């Protein structure tokens, strides 16, 4: 959607959505929100605990509720979780309410960035590489379907370089404007 009032970042875990998102928000003078952080804040529980108690389905329900709420906020940068694009309603909200950037990464980059991460429930597997490859196979087409812009991460190996490059592209491609209210969305 262009023009769009907000910027939404999608992509797999370890793509740099939170780190790049914070930098981009600062450079563009927009408020930044991380959907996973907001889920933890609202629930008072970690993502890991939510998965343990409610399973992935319970987590995805919470994710959908907050994505619906936050995607309606104008003038923000929102970093989504890697699986947020699994629900058709989430993809629709992202496309209709903002400019969507897919931060694309490789399995190798994910392996490096997530080497010491033990907090992600979907990464708790004997073979992390196989798990990341399976998730990529399941989600890659949905990222492409949802995105207005695809930006490879790991640009010069730096999140700040990726953020600078993204802002340069956004300054050319993204028309920051106000969204038309859609059914069920406050203007």
pLDDT, one tens digit for every residue, the chain (187 residues): 467 899 999 999 888 899 999 999 999 999 999 999 999 999 999 999 999 999 999 999 999 999 999 999 999 999 999 999 999 999 999 999 999 999 998 888 887 877 766 777 666 777 888 888 998 999 999 999 999 999 988 655 678 888 999 999 999 999 887 644 443 444 3
CATH class belonging to 7-173: alpha beta
Q: Is the pTM of this model over 0.85?
A: yes
CA gap 54, 145 in Å, rounded: 29
In angstroms, rounded to a whole number, what is the distance separating the alpha carbons of residues 167 and 163?
6
In the β-sheet with 76-79, what is the strand arrangement from edge to edge? 31-34, 76-79, 7-10, 99-104, 149-152
Q: Which residues of 42-55 are buried (b: 16+ CB within 10 A; e: fewer)?
A: ebebebeebbeeee
Domain ranges of the chain: 7-173
């Amino acid at each position: 959607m262009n023009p769009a009032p907000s910027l939404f970042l999608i992509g797999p875990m370890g793509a740099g959505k939170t780190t790049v998102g914070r930098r981009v928000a600062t450079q563009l003078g927009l408020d930044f929100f991380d959907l996973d952080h907001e889920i933890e804040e609202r629930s008072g529980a970690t993502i890991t605990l939510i998965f343990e108690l409610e399973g992935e389905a319970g987590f995805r329900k919470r994710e959908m509720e907050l994505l619906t709420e936050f995607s309606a906020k104008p003038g923000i940068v929102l970093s989504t979780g890697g699986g947020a694009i699994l629900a058709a309603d989430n993809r629709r909200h992202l496309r209709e309410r903002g400019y969507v950037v897919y931060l694309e990464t490789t399995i190798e980059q994910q392996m490096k960035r997530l080497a010491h991460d033990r907090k992600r429930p979907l990464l708790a597997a004997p073979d992390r590489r196989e798990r990341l490859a399976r998730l990529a196979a399941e989600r890659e087409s949905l990222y492409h379907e949802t995105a207005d812009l695809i930006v490879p991460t790991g640009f010069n190996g730096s999140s700040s370089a990726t953020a600078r490059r993204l802002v340069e592209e956004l300054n050319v491609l993204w028309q920051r404007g106000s969204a038309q209210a859609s059914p069920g969305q406050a203007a």
